[in-house]
Structure 1
Amino acid sequence: MRYGFILPGGDVQTIPEMAGEAEAAGWDGVFIADCISIDTSDNPPGPWYDPWILLALMATRTSRITLGPMVAAISRRRPWKLARETMTLDHLSQGRIVLPVGLGAARDDAGFYKVGEEMSLRGRASIMDECLDILNAAWSGEPFSYEGNHYHVQRMQLLPPSFQQPRIPVWPIGVWPHEKSMQRVLRWDGIVPQKKDGSDTPLTPDDIRAIKVYVETNRKLTTPFDIIWEGETPANDPEQAATLVRPWIEAGITWWMESRWNNATPQEIRERIRQGPPRII
Protein backbone atom coordinates (compact mmCIF):
# COMPACT_ATOMS: atom_id res chain seq x y z
CA MET A 1 0.00 0.00 0.00
CA ARG A 2 1.34 3.39 -1.04
CA TYR A 3 0.31 6.95 -0.35
CA GLY A 4 0.60 9.84 -2.78
CA PHE A 5 -0.14 13.55 -2.67
CA ILE A 6 -1.66 15.44 -5.62
CA LEU A 7 -0.49 19.04 -5.84
CA PRO A 8 -3.31 21.09 -7.43
CA GLY A 9 -0.98 23.95 -8.29
CA GLY A 10 0.95 26.58 -6.42
CA ASP A 11 3.97 28.77 -6.77
CA VAL A 12 6.43 27.51 -9.36
CA GLN A 13 9.32 27.98 -6.95
CA THR A 14 7.72 26.08 -4.07
CA ILE A 15 6.20 23.09 -5.90
CA PRO A 16 9.57 21.31 -6.18
CA GLU A 17 10.20 22.11 -2.51
CA MET A 18 6.84 20.49 -1.64
CA ALA A 19 7.99 17.30 -3.37
CA GLY A 20 11.09 17.21 -1.18
CA GLU A 21 8.99 17.86 1.92
CA ALA A 22 6.61 15.05 0.93
CA GLU A 23 9.49 12.60 0.62
CA ALA A 24 10.81 13.63 4.03
CA ALA A 25 7.34 13.25 5.57
CA GLY A 26 6.97 9.65 4.36
CA TRP A 27 4.73 10.01 1.31
CA ASP A 28 5.39 7.48 -1.48
CA GLY A 29 4.53 9.71 -4.43
CA VAL A 30 3.82 13.28 -5.52
CA PHE A 31 1.70 14.15 -8.54
CA ILE A 32 1.00 17.41 -10.34
CA ALA A 33 -2.05 18.53 -12.32
CA ASP A 34 -1.78 18.81 -16.12
CA CYS A 35 -3.69 21.92 -17.16
CA ILE A 36 -3.26 24.72 -19.71
CA SER A 37 -5.89 27.16 -18.36
CA ILE A 38 -9.33 26.91 -16.80
CA ASP A 39 -11.62 29.90 -17.34
CA THR A 40 -15.17 29.43 -16.04
CA SER A 41 -17.54 31.38 -13.84
CA ASP A 42 -16.52 29.16 -10.92
CA ASN A 43 -12.82 29.05 -11.81
CA PRO A 44 -11.41 32.25 -13.32
CA PRO A 45 -7.94 32.02 -14.92
CA GLY A 46 -5.23 31.26 -12.42
CA PRO A 47 -1.56 30.28 -12.41
CA TRP A 48 -0.75 26.89 -13.94
CA TYR A 49 2.69 25.55 -14.87
CA ASP A 50 3.96 22.96 -17.32
CA PRO A 51 3.91 19.53 -15.61
CA TRP A 52 6.96 18.11 -17.41
CA ILE A 53 9.24 20.97 -16.35
CA LEU A 54 7.93 20.77 -12.80
CA LEU A 55 8.37 16.99 -12.70
CA ALA A 56 11.98 17.40 -13.80
CA LEU A 57 12.58 19.83 -10.94
CA MET A 58 10.76 17.53 -8.53
CA ALA A 59 12.96 14.63 -9.63
CA THR A 60 16.09 16.59 -8.75
CA ARG A 61 14.72 17.40 -5.27
CA THR A 62 13.86 13.79 -4.42
CA SER A 63 15.46 10.36 -4.52
CA ARG A 64 12.78 7.85 -3.52
CA ILE A 65 9.22 8.89 -4.29
CA THR A 66 7.18 8.17 -7.42
CA LEU A 67 6.35 11.15 -9.62
CA GLY A 68 3.84 11.81 -12.36
CA PRO A 69 1.04 13.98 -13.76
CA MET A 70 -2.49 13.48 -12.47
CA VAL A 71 -3.67 13.01 -15.10
CA ALA A 72 -2.00 13.68 -18.45
CA ALA A 73 -4.36 14.72 -21.25
CA ILE A 74 -2.30 13.06 -23.96
CA SER A 75 -4.76 13.50 -26.83
CA ARG A 76 -3.46 17.07 -27.21
CA ARG A 77 0.23 16.10 -27.27
CA ARG A 78 2.46 14.85 -30.07
CA PRO A 79 3.25 11.26 -29.04
CA TRP A 80 6.87 11.27 -30.30
CA LYS A 81 7.55 14.48 -28.35
CA LEU A 82 5.80 13.04 -25.30
CA ALA A 83 7.88 9.87 -25.66
CA ARG A 84 11.06 11.93 -25.49
CA GLU A 85 9.81 13.97 -22.50
CA THR A 86 8.71 10.97 -20.45
CA MET A 87 11.80 8.94 -21.38
CA THR A 88 14.00 11.82 -20.21
CA LEU A 89 12.10 12.08 -16.92
CA ASP A 90 12.34 8.34 -16.43
CA HIS A 91 16.13 8.47 -16.72
CA LEU A 92 16.45 11.66 -14.69
CA SER A 93 14.49 10.10 -11.83
CA GLN A 94 16.11 6.68 -12.32
CA GLY A 95 12.81 4.93 -12.88
CA ARG A 96 10.42 6.82 -10.62
CA ILE A 97 7.98 8.14 -13.24
CA VAL A 98 4.47 6.83 -13.89
CA LEU A 99 2.05 8.11 -16.52
CA PRO A 100 -1.60 8.40 -15.49
CA VAL A 101 -3.58 9.29 -18.63
CA GLY A 102 -7.07 10.43 -19.48
CA LEU A 103 -9.13 12.30 -22.05
CA GLY A 104 -8.56 15.62 -20.30
CA ALA A 105 -11.04 18.01 -18.73
CA ALA A 106 -13.02 19.79 -21.43
CA ARG A 107 -13.31 22.79 -19.09
CA ASP A 108 -9.55 23.24 -19.58
CA ASP A 109 -10.58 25.84 -22.13
CA ALA A 110 -7.19 26.94 -23.46
CA GLY A 111 -6.11 23.33 -23.78
CA PHE A 112 -9.06 22.16 -25.87
CA TYR A 113 -11.85 24.07 -27.59
CA LYS A 114 -10.20 27.50 -27.62
CA VAL A 115 -7.36 26.08 -29.71
CA GLY A 116 -9.32 23.67 -31.87
CA GLU A 117 -8.46 20.36 -30.21
CA GLU A 118 -10.74 17.34 -30.64
CA MET A 119 -13.67 17.69 -28.22
CA SER A 120 -15.70 14.50 -28.65
CA LEU A 121 -15.12 11.75 -26.10
CA ARG A 122 -14.89 9.11 -28.83
CA GLY A 123 -12.40 11.15 -30.83
CA ARG A 124 -10.17 11.92 -27.86
CA ALA A 125 -10.26 8.28 -26.77
CA SER A 126 -9.17 7.12 -30.22
CA ILE A 127 -6.32 9.63 -30.29
CA MET A 128 -5.25 8.60 -26.79
CA ASP A 129 -5.13 4.91 -27.74
CA GLU A 130 -2.92 5.61 -30.75
CA CYS A 131 -0.68 7.86 -28.66
CA LEU A 132 -0.24 5.08 -26.10
CA ASP A 133 0.65 2.59 -28.83
CA ILE A 134 3.34 4.92 -30.14
CA LEU A 135 4.68 5.63 -26.65
CA ASN A 136 4.96 1.93 -25.92
CA ALA A 137 6.90 1.34 -29.14
CA ALA A 138 9.13 4.38 -28.68
CA TRP A 139 10.03 3.51 -25.07
CA SER A 140 11.35 0.13 -26.20
CA GLY A 141 14.32 1.73 -27.94
CA GLU A 142 13.72 -0.52 -30.93
CA PRO A 143 12.97 0.68 -34.48
CA PHE A 144 9.24 1.00 -35.11
CA SER A 145 6.68 2.43 -37.50
CA TYR A 146 2.99 3.11 -37.01
CA GLU A 147 -0.11 3.54 -39.18
CA GLY A 148 -3.28 4.72 -37.47
CA ASN A 149 -6.26 6.92 -38.17
CA HIS A 150 -4.65 9.92 -36.49
CA TYR A 151 -0.90 9.29 -36.54
CA HIS A 152 1.46 8.02 -39.24
CA VAL A 153 5.04 7.29 -38.19
CA GLN A 154 7.68 6.21 -40.66
CA ARG A 155 10.35 3.84 -39.38
CA MET A 156 12.20 5.54 -36.54
CA GLN A 157 14.07 4.74 -33.33
CA LEU A 158 14.27 6.73 -30.11
CA LEU A 159 17.23 6.08 -27.85
CA PRO A 160 17.81 5.43 -25.06
CA PRO A 161 14.97 3.09 -24.15
CA SER A 162 13.00 3.93 -21.03
CA PHE A 163 14.85 3.34 -17.77
CA GLN A 164 11.97 1.16 -16.55
CA GLN A 165 11.37 -2.03 -18.45
CA PRO A 166 9.31 -3.23 -20.17
CA ARG A 167 8.01 0.39 -20.09
CA ILE A 168 7.08 3.36 -17.99
CA PRO A 169 3.93 2.30 -16.08
CA VAL A 170 0.73 3.67 -17.62
CA TRP A 171 -2.39 4.22 -15.51
CA PRO A 172 -5.41 5.04 -17.72
CA ILE A 173 -8.62 6.40 -16.32
CA GLY A 174 -11.08 3.52 -16.39
CA VAL A 175 -14.80 4.27 -16.50
CA TRP A 176 -16.60 1.55 -14.55
CA PRO A 177 -18.37 -0.53 -15.73
CA HIS A 178 -17.96 0.73 -19.33
CA GLU A 179 -16.61 -2.28 -21.22
CA LYS A 180 -14.55 -0.44 -23.83
CA SER A 181 -12.88 1.74 -21.22
CA MET A 182 -12.13 -1.26 -18.99
CA GLN A 183 -10.73 -3.24 -21.92
CA ARG A 184 -8.25 -0.40 -22.45
CA VAL A 185 -7.19 -0.61 -18.80
CA LEU A 186 -6.37 -4.30 -19.16
CA ARG A 187 -3.62 -3.51 -21.67
CA TRP A 188 -1.71 -1.29 -19.25
CA ASP A 189 -0.47 -1.12 -15.68
CA GLY A 190 -3.11 0.45 -13.47
CA ILE A 191 -6.45 2.21 -13.27
CA VAL A 192 -7.66 5.58 -12.08
CA PRO A 193 -11.32 4.57 -11.64
CA GLN A 194 -14.28 6.78 -12.51
CA LYS A 195 -18.01 6.17 -12.61
CA LYS A 196 -19.76 5.98 -15.97
CA ASP A 197 -20.99 9.35 -17.26
CA GLY A 198 -24.57 10.10 -16.28
CA SER A 199 -24.42 8.18 -13.03
CA ASP A 200 -25.55 10.15 -10.00
CA THR A 201 -23.84 7.83 -7.53
CA PRO A 202 -20.12 7.87 -6.73
CA LEU A 203 -17.91 4.82 -6.78
CA THR A 204 -17.91 2.79 -3.59
CA PRO A 205 -15.49 0.27 -2.06
CA ASP A 206 -17.76 -2.43 -3.48
CA ASP A 207 -17.11 -1.00 -6.95
CA ILE A 208 -13.37 -1.20 -6.28
CA ARG A 209 -13.78 -4.86 -5.30
CA ALA A 210 -15.65 -5.51 -8.54
CA ILE A 211 -12.95 -3.71 -10.55
CA LYS A 212 -10.25 -5.78 -8.85
CA VAL A 213 -12.05 -9.03 -9.67
CA TYR A 214 -12.61 -7.89 -13.26
CA VAL A 215 -8.91 -7.10 -13.73
CA GLU A 216 -7.71 -10.30 -12.09
CA THR A 217 -10.11 -12.34 -14.22
CA ASN A 218 -9.49 -10.69 -17.59
CA ARG A 219 -5.97 -9.21 -17.63
CA LYS A 220 -3.45 -11.35 -19.51
CA LEU A 221 -0.31 -9.43 -18.53
CA THR A 222 1.68 -10.66 -15.53
CA THR A 223 3.25 -7.30 -14.67
CA PRO A 224 2.13 -5.44 -11.50
CA PHE A 225 -1.19 -3.61 -11.61
CA ASP A 226 -2.20 -0.63 -9.47
CA ILE A 227 -5.63 0.63 -8.42
CA ILE A 228 -5.61 4.32 -7.53
CA TRP A 229 -8.11 6.21 -5.42
CA GLU A 230 -8.08 9.78 -4.19
CA GLY A 231 -9.68 11.56 -1.28
CA GLU A 232 -9.08 13.90 1.61
CA THR A 233 -8.23 12.99 5.19
CA PRO A 234 -7.75 15.13 8.30
CA ALA A 235 -4.15 15.39 9.41
CA ASN A 236 -4.93 16.16 13.03
CA ASP A 237 -7.14 13.10 13.59
CA PRO A 238 -5.25 9.88 12.69
CA GLU A 239 -8.10 7.69 13.89
CA GLN A 240 -10.63 9.43 11.63
CA ALA A 241 -8.15 9.34 8.75
CA ALA A 242 -7.77 5.60 9.20
CA THR A 243 -11.55 5.20 9.27
CA LEU A 244 -11.83 7.02 5.93
CA VAL A 245 -9.03 5.14 4.19
CA ARG A 246 -9.45 1.60 5.54
CA PRO A 247 -12.54 0.58 3.48
CA TRP A 248 -10.74 1.49 0.24
CA ILE A 249 -7.60 -0.40 1.20
CA GLU A 250 -9.62 -3.44 2.20
CA ALA A 251 -11.45 -3.24 -1.15
CA GLY A 252 -8.17 -3.48 -3.05
CA ILE A 253 -6.65 -0.09 -3.87
CA THR A 254 -2.85 0.02 -4.00
CA TRP A 255 -2.50 3.84 -3.95
CA TRP A 256 -4.33 6.35 -1.76
CA MET A 257 -3.96 9.82 -3.31
CA GLU A 258 -4.43 12.70 -0.90
CA SER A 259 -5.92 15.65 -2.78
CA ARG A 260 -6.81 19.25 -2.01
CA TRP A 261 -8.80 20.60 -4.97
CA ASN A 262 -11.12 22.91 -3.02
CA ASN A 263 -9.13 26.14 -2.95
CA ALA A 264 -6.71 25.12 -0.23
CA THR A 265 -3.97 27.68 0.27
CA PRO A 266 -0.33 26.76 -0.43
CA GLN A 267 0.28 27.03 3.30
CA GLU A 268 -2.51 24.54 4.05
CA ILE A 269 -1.20 22.15 1.41
CA ARG A 270 2.33 22.29 2.78
CA GLU A 271 1.07 21.76 6.31
CA ARG A 272 -0.89 18.67 5.23
CA ILE A 273 2.14 17.32 3.37
CA ARG A 274 4.38 17.72 6.39
CA GLN A 275 1.93 15.86 8.64
CA GLY A 276 2.41 12.70 6.59
CA PRO A 277 0.12 10.09 5.04
CA PRO A 278 -2.93 8.53 6.71
CA ARG A 279 -1.33 5.16 7.30
CA ILE A 280 -3.31 2.19 8.53
CA ILE A 281 -1.44 0.42 11.34
Structure 2
Amino acid sequence: MKFGLAIPNCHGDFADIHLVSEVAYEAEQAGWDGLFVWDHIGDKWGDEVLDPWVMLSAMAMRTRTVRLGTMVTPVTRRRPWKLAREVATLDHLSNGRMILGVGSGGGIEYVNYHEPGDAKTYGERMDEALELLSLLWNGERISYAGQYYQIENVRHLPRPIQQPRIPIWVGGVWPNKKPMRRAAQWDGVCPIGKGVGMTEQMTPEQAHACFDYVRSQQSPEQVTEDYACVQWGILDGKDRGHDAALVSVYAEVGANWWIENLSWERGSLQELRPFIHQGPPVHS
Protein backbone atom coordinates (compact mmCIF):
# COMPACT_ATOMS: atom_id res chain seq x y z
CA MET A 1 0.00 0.00 0.00
CA LYS A 2 1.18 3.50 -0.89
CA PHE A 3 -0.03 6.47 1.14
CA GLY A 4 -0.85 9.94 -0.09
CA LEU A 5 -2.45 13.15 1.09
CA ALA A 6 -5.13 15.05 -0.83
CA ILE A 7 -4.82 18.78 -0.11
CA PRO A 8 -7.57 21.24 -1.07
CA ASN A 9 -6.50 24.21 -3.20
CA CYS A 10 -9.18 26.37 -1.61
CA HIS A 11 -10.64 27.62 1.68
CA GLY A 12 -8.78 29.24 4.55
CA ASP A 13 -5.12 28.38 5.07
CA PHE A 14 -5.31 25.59 2.49
CA ALA A 15 -5.01 28.58 0.10
CA ASP A 16 -1.71 29.73 1.70
CA ILE A 17 0.94 28.75 -0.87
CA HIS A 18 3.82 29.18 1.58
CA LEU A 19 2.17 26.93 4.17
CA VAL A 20 1.25 24.32 1.56
CA SER A 21 4.81 24.09 0.23
CA GLU A 22 6.21 23.78 3.76
CA VAL A 23 3.69 21.06 4.63
CA ALA A 24 4.71 19.23 1.43
CA TYR A 25 8.29 19.10 2.67
CA GLU A 26 7.15 17.91 6.11
CA ALA A 27 4.93 15.24 4.59
CA GLU A 28 7.80 13.78 2.57
CA GLN A 29 10.00 13.74 5.66
CA ALA A 30 7.22 11.92 7.55
CA GLY A 31 7.11 9.13 4.96
CA TRP A 32 4.07 9.89 2.82
CA ASP A 33 4.37 8.55 -0.74
CA GLY A 34 2.22 11.06 -2.62
CA LEU A 35 0.83 14.59 -2.44
CA PHE A 36 -2.25 15.43 -4.47
CA VAL A 37 -4.04 18.76 -4.79
CA TRP A 38 -7.63 19.53 -5.66
CA ASP A 39 -8.24 21.38 -8.92
CA HIS A 40 -10.91 24.04 -8.49
CA ILE A 41 -11.04 27.49 -10.01
CA GLY A 42 -13.96 28.89 -8.00
CA ASP A 43 -16.53 26.89 -6.12
CA LYS A 44 -19.16 26.74 -3.43
CA TRP A 45 -16.46 26.52 -0.76
CA GLY A 46 -15.36 30.13 -0.97
CA ASP A 47 -13.35 32.66 -2.94
CA GLU A 48 -9.89 31.74 -1.60
CA VAL A 49 -8.50 29.49 -4.32
CA LEU A 50 -4.94 28.70 -5.43
CA ASP A 51 -3.91 27.58 -8.90
CA PRO A 52 -3.12 23.83 -8.67
CA TRP A 53 -0.21 23.96 -11.15
CA VAL A 54 1.57 26.71 -9.20
CA MET A 55 0.92 24.73 -6.02
CA LEU A 56 2.45 21.60 -7.55
CA SER A 57 5.43 23.58 -8.82
CA ALA A 58 6.10 24.91 -5.32
CA MET A 59 5.70 21.41 -3.88
CA ALA A 60 8.01 19.92 -6.50
CA MET A 61 10.73 22.39 -5.52
CA ARG A 62 10.45 21.46 -1.83
CA THR A 63 10.42 17.66 -2.27
CA ARG A 64 12.52 14.95 -3.88
CA THR A 65 10.74 11.59 -3.78
CA VAL A 66 6.96 11.88 -3.26
CA ARG A 67 4.63 11.46 -6.22
CA LEU A 68 2.73 14.65 -7.11
CA GLY A 69 -0.58 15.09 -8.86
CA THR A 70 -4.11 16.41 -9.06
CA MET A 71 -7.11 14.78 -7.45
CA VAL A 72 -8.82 15.49 -9.79
CA THR A 73 -8.55 17.82 -12.80
CA PRO A 74 -11.83 18.49 -14.68
CA VAL A 75 -10.27 17.89 -18.09
CA THR A 76 -13.04 19.43 -20.16
CA ARG A 77 -12.56 22.75 -18.34
CA ARG A 78 -9.07 22.97 -19.84
CA ARG A 79 -7.61 22.99 -23.33
CA PRO A 80 -5.94 19.59 -23.76
CA TRP A 81 -2.82 21.01 -25.45
CA LYS A 82 -2.28 23.52 -22.64
CA LEU A 83 -2.85 20.81 -20.04
CA ALA A 84 -0.38 18.55 -21.87
CA ARG A 85 2.31 21.25 -21.67
CA GLU A 86 1.67 22.01 -18.00
CA VAL A 87 1.77 18.40 -16.83
CA ALA A 88 4.80 17.50 -18.97
CA THR A 89 6.68 20.52 -17.63
CA LEU A 90 5.83 19.48 -14.07
CA ASP A 91 7.05 15.97 -14.84
CA HIS A 92 10.43 17.46 -15.76
CA LEU A 93 10.47 19.83 -12.79
CA SER A 94 9.79 16.91 -10.43
CA ASN A 95 12.15 14.49 -12.22
CA GLY A 96 9.37 12.14 -13.27
CA ARG A 97 7.02 12.20 -10.28
CA MET A 98 3.76 13.48 -11.80
CA ILE A 99 0.40 11.70 -11.83
CA LEU A 100 -2.62 13.27 -13.53
CA GLY A 101 -5.92 12.57 -11.79
CA VAL A 102 -8.86 13.40 -14.03
CA GLY A 103 -12.63 13.70 -13.89
CA SER A 104 -15.43 15.12 -15.98
CA GLY A 105 -16.34 17.90 -13.56
CA GLY A 106 -19.45 20.04 -13.65
CA GLY A 107 -21.48 22.31 -11.41
CA ILE A 108 -21.03 26.02 -10.85
CA GLU A 109 -17.40 25.93 -12.01
CA TYR A 110 -18.79 25.28 -15.46
CA VAL A 111 -22.06 27.23 -15.26
CA ASN A 112 -20.73 30.42 -13.65
CA TYR A 113 -17.83 30.63 -16.09
CA HIS A 114 -20.02 29.80 -19.09
CA GLU A 115 -17.91 26.82 -20.06
CA PRO A 116 -19.17 24.99 -23.16
CA GLY A 117 -20.91 21.65 -23.05
CA ASP A 118 -23.30 19.92 -20.70
CA ALA A 119 -23.37 16.89 -18.42
CA LYS A 120 -24.20 14.58 -21.33
CA THR A 121 -21.17 15.59 -23.37
CA TYR A 122 -18.53 16.10 -20.65
CA GLY A 123 -17.58 12.43 -20.75
CA GLU A 124 -17.31 12.36 -24.54
CA ARG A 125 -15.15 15.48 -24.53
CA MET A 126 -13.02 14.00 -21.75
CA ASP A 127 -12.38 10.81 -23.76
CA GLU A 128 -11.11 12.87 -26.70
CA ALA A 129 -8.99 15.04 -24.42
CA LEU A 130 -7.33 12.02 -22.78
CA GLU A 131 -6.55 10.53 -26.16
CA LEU A 132 -5.02 13.85 -27.20
CA LEU A 133 -2.90 14.05 -24.05
CA SER A 134 -1.46 10.60 -24.69
CA LEU A 135 -0.70 11.48 -28.33
CA LEU A 136 0.91 14.82 -27.49
CA TRP A 137 3.12 13.26 -24.82
CA ASN A 138 4.64 10.76 -27.27
CA GLY A 139 6.62 13.54 -28.94
CA GLU A 140 5.60 12.70 -32.51
CA ARG A 141 4.14 15.19 -34.97
CA ILE A 142 0.39 14.68 -35.04
CA SER A 143 -2.91 15.96 -36.40
CA TYR A 144 -6.21 15.13 -34.73
CA ALA A 145 -9.78 15.61 -35.93
CA GLY A 146 -12.29 14.79 -33.21
CA GLN A 147 -15.83 15.93 -32.63
CA TYR A 148 -14.78 18.40 -29.93
CA TYR A 149 -11.06 18.99 -30.46
CA GLN A 150 -8.97 19.49 -33.59
CA ILE A 151 -5.26 20.17 -34.03
CA GLU A 152 -3.09 20.17 -37.12
CA ASN A 153 0.60 19.43 -37.62
CA VAL A 154 1.60 19.76 -33.96
CA ARG A 155 4.55 18.34 -32.06
CA HIS A 156 5.16 18.65 -28.33
CA LEU A 157 8.71 18.44 -27.03
CA PRO A 158 10.27 17.72 -24.66
CA ARG A 159 8.44 14.50 -23.98
CA PRO A 160 7.62 13.78 -20.33
CA ILE A 161 10.30 11.92 -18.40
CA GLN A 162 7.80 9.12 -17.72
CA GLN A 163 7.13 6.95 -20.76
CA PRO A 164 5.02 5.78 -22.47
CA ARG A 165 3.06 8.50 -20.63
CA ILE A 166 2.48 10.23 -17.34
CA PRO A 167 0.07 7.99 -15.38
CA ILE A 168 -3.57 8.98 -15.74
CA TRP A 169 -5.91 8.08 -12.87
CA VAL A 170 -9.63 8.47 -13.54
CA GLY A 171 -12.08 9.58 -10.89
CA GLY A 172 -15.80 8.96 -10.79
CA VAL A 173 -18.76 8.34 -8.54
CA TRP A 174 -19.41 4.70 -7.74
CA PRO A 175 -21.73 2.85 -8.52
CA ASN A 176 -21.91 4.79 -11.83
CA LYS A 177 -20.46 2.37 -14.36
CA LYS A 178 -19.48 4.63 -17.26
CA PRO A 179 -16.59 6.47 -15.52
CA MET A 180 -15.34 3.12 -14.23
CA ARG A 181 -15.24 1.69 -17.76
CA ARG A 182 -13.23 4.77 -18.73
CA ALA A 183 -10.88 4.27 -15.79
CA ALA A 184 -10.23 0.68 -16.84
CA GLN A 185 -8.55 1.92 -20.02
CA TRP A 186 -6.00 4.11 -18.26
CA ASP A 187 -3.60 3.73 -15.32
CA GLY A 188 -5.71 3.96 -12.18
CA VAL A 189 -9.11 4.55 -10.63
CA CYS A 190 -9.91 6.92 -7.75
CA PRO A 191 -13.61 6.48 -6.96
CA ILE A 192 -15.77 8.35 -4.52
CA GLY A 193 -18.98 6.84 -3.24
CA LYS A 194 -22.34 8.35 -4.10
CA GLY A 195 -23.55 10.44 -1.18
CA VAL A 196 -20.28 10.00 0.76
CA GLY A 197 -19.30 13.20 2.59
CA MET A 198 -15.86 14.72 3.03
CA THR A 199 -15.38 13.11 6.43
CA GLU A 200 -16.65 9.70 5.28
CA GLN A 201 -15.37 6.97 2.98
CA MET A 202 -16.57 4.08 0.86
CA THR A 203 -16.98 0.84 2.77
CA PRO A 204 -14.63 -2.07 2.02
CA GLU A 205 -17.55 -3.83 0.33
CA GLN A 206 -18.18 -0.83 -1.95
CA ALA A 207 -14.48 -0.49 -2.76
CA HIS A 208 -14.25 -4.21 -3.54
CA ALA A 209 -17.23 -4.06 -5.89
CA CYS A 210 -15.80 -1.02 -7.65
CA PHE A 211 -12.29 -2.42 -8.12
CA ASP A 212 -13.66 -5.77 -9.28
CA TYR A 213 -15.87 -4.06 -11.84
CA VAL A 214 -12.97 -1.97 -13.19
CA ARG A 215 -10.77 -5.04 -13.50
CA SER A 216 -13.56 -6.92 -15.29
CA GLN A 217 -13.50 -4.25 -17.99
CA GLN A 218 -9.80 -4.75 -18.76
CA SER A 219 -8.11 -7.04 -21.23
CA PRO A 220 -5.95 -9.92 -19.93
CA GLU A 221 -2.89 -7.85 -20.85
CA GLN A 222 -4.12 -4.82 -18.91
CA VAL A 223 -4.83 -6.91 -15.82
CA THR A 224 -1.14 -7.89 -15.62
CA GLU A 225 0.08 -4.27 -15.71
CA ASP A 226 0.60 -1.95 -12.75
CA TYR A 227 -2.67 -0.27 -11.92
CA ALA A 228 -3.62 2.11 -9.11
CA CYS A 229 -6.76 1.28 -7.10
CA VAL A 230 -7.25 4.27 -4.82
CA GLN A 231 -9.14 4.35 -1.56
CA TRP A 232 -10.13 7.95 -0.83
CA GLY A 233 -9.74 7.41 2.88
CA ILE A 234 -10.16 8.77 6.38
CA LEU A 235 -7.83 7.70 9.19
CA ASP A 236 -8.46 8.50 12.82
CA GLY A 237 -4.85 9.42 13.58
CA LYS A 238 -5.23 8.71 17.29
CA ASP A 239 -4.94 4.91 17.41
CA ARG A 240 -2.18 3.75 15.07
CA GLY A 241 -3.06 0.10 15.54
CA HIS A 242 -6.67 0.73 14.60
CA ASP A 243 -5.59 2.74 11.53
CA ALA A 244 -3.19 0.01 10.41
CA ALA A 245 -5.91 -2.62 10.78
CA LEU A 246 -8.35 -0.48 8.77
CA VAL A 247 -5.83 -0.05 5.96
CA SER A 248 -5.24 -3.81 5.85
CA VAL A 249 -8.96 -4.42 5.31
CA TYR A 250 -8.94 -2.17 2.24
CA ALA A 251 -5.71 -3.74 0.99
CA GLU A 252 -7.42 -7.13 1.11
CA VAL A 253 -10.19 -5.88 -1.23
CA GLY A 254 -7.72 -4.54 -3.78
CA ALA A 255 -6.72 -1.01 -2.77
CA ASN A 256 -3.03 -0.28 -3.35
CA TRP A 257 -3.10 3.49 -2.75
CA TRP A 258 -4.59 5.11 0.33
CA ILE A 259 -5.12 8.83 -0.24
CA GLU A 260 -6.06 10.62 2.94
CA ASN A 261 -8.88 13.08 2.35
CA LEU A 262 -7.88 16.27 4.14
CA SER A 263 -10.35 19.13 4.32
CA TRP A 264 -11.39 22.05 6.50
CA GLU A 265 -14.18 19.86 7.88
CA ARG A 266 -11.41 18.04 9.77
CA GLY A 267 -9.59 21.26 10.72
CA SER A 268 -7.37 23.91 9.17
CA LEU A 269 -4.16 22.86 7.44
CA GLN A 270 -2.26 24.24 10.41
CA GLU A 271 -4.35 22.11 12.76
CA LEU A 272 -3.81 19.01 10.61
CA ARG A 273 -0.01 19.31 10.64
CA PRO A 274 0.43 17.03 13.70
CA PHE A 275 -1.59 14.32 11.89
CA ILE A 276 0.60 14.74 8.79
CA HIS A 277 3.79 14.61 10.88
CA GLN A 278 2.82 11.15 12.17
CA GLY A 279 3.20 9.73 8.68
CA PRO A 280 1.34 6.67 7.38
CA PRO A 281 0.18 4.07 9.93
CA VAL A 282 2.22 1.35 8.21
CA HIS A 283 5.31 1.40 6.02
CA SER A 284 4.61 1.22 2.29
Same fold, judged at TM 0.5 (above): yes
Task: Identify the residue that residue 205 of structure 2 maps to in structure 1.
Answer: 206
| CA-CA distance at 1:237 after TM superposition | 1.3
* Aligned partner (choices 170, 173, 198) of residue 171 of structure 2: 173
Task: Identify the residue that residue 67 of structure 2 maps to in structure 1.
Answer: 66
Moved more, 4-13 or 14-23: 4-13
2:123, 2:64 → 1: CA distance? 34
1:196, 1:143 → 2: CA distance? 41
Residue 78 of structure 2 aligns with an amino acid whose one-letter code is: R
Task: Identify the residue that residue 257 of structure 1 maps to in structure 2.
Answer: 259
1:91/1:223 CA distance change after superposition, 3 Å: farther
Task: Identify the residue that residue 50 of structure 1 maps to in structure 2.
Answer: 51
Off by >6 Å, runs of 4+ in structure 1: none
Q: Is the 8 A contact 1:3 1:29 kept in 2?
A: yes
Q: Is the 8 A contact 1:118 1:124 kept in 2?
A: no
Q: Is the 8 A contact 2:101 2:171 kept in 1?
A: yes
Name the Cα RMSD after superposition: 2.2
1:266/1:65 CA distance change after superposition, 3 Å: same
2:269, 2:193 → 1: CA distance? 30
Long gaps (5+) in structure 2: none
1:235, 1:69 → 2: CA distance? 24
Residues 23-59 of structure 1 deviation map (CA, whole Å, 9 limit, x = unaligned): 00000001111111123xxx3x242100011101111
Is 1:114 matched up with 2:112? yes
| CA-CA distance at 1:202 after TM superposition | 7.2
Task: Identify the residue that residue 4 of structure 1 maps to in structure 2.
Answer: 4
1:241/1:263 CA distance change after superposition, 3 Å: closer
Is 1:278 matched up with 2:281? yes
Q: Is the 8 A contact 2:174 2:192 kept in 1?
A: yes
Task: Identify the residue that residue 133 of structure 2 maps to in structure 1.
Answer: 135
| CA-CA distance at 1:280 after TM superposition | 7.0
1:274, 1:195 → 2: CA distance? 28
Query: Per the alignment, in what secondary structure is the counterpart of residue 252 of structure 1?
Result: coil
Task: Identify the residue that residue 153 of structure 1 maps to in structure 2.
Answer: 151
Moved more, 225-234 or 61-70: 225-234
Task: Identify the residue that residue 218 of structure 2 maps to in structure 1.
Answer: 219
Residue 212 of structure 1 aligns with an amino acid whose one-letter code is: F
Q: Is the 8 A contact 2:24 2:59 kept in 1?
A: yes
1:234, 1:204 → 2: CA distance? 15
Q: Is the 8 A contact 1:242 1:280 kept in 2?
A: no
* Aligned partner (choices 8, 22, 30) of residue 27 of structure 2: 22
2:172, 2:110 → 1: CA distance? 21
1:256, 1:81 → 2: CA distance? 30
Give the TM-score taking structure 2 as reference length.
Answer: 0.88
2:20, 2:195 → 1: CA distance? 33
Residues 200-251 of structure 1 deviation map (CA, whole Å, 9 limit, x = unaligned): x974322332333334443133531101112221223102212332221111
1:238, 1:172 → 2: CA distance? 30
2:201, 2:22 → 1: CA distance? 34
Q: Percent identity?
A: 40
2:60, 2:142 → 1: CA distance? 29
1:266, 1:214 → 2: CA distance? 35
1:202/1:16 CA distance change after superposition, 3 Å: closer
Query: Per the alignment, in what secondary structure is the counterpart of residue 253 of structure 1?
Result: coil
Task: Identify the residue that residue 234 of structure 1 maps to in structure 2.
Answer: 236
Query: Per the alignment, in what secondary structure is the counterpart of residue 70 of structure 1?
Result: strand
Aligned residues: 272
1:246/1:102 CA distance change after superposition, 3 Å: same
Residue 2 of structure 1 aligns with an amino acid whose one-letter code is: K
Query: Per the alignment, in what secondary structure is the counterpart of residue 98 of structure 2?
Result: coil
Is 1:126 matched up with 2:129? no
Q: Is the 8 A contact 1:141 1:157 kept in 2?
A: yes
Residue 8 of structure 1 aligns with an amino acid whose one-letter code is: P
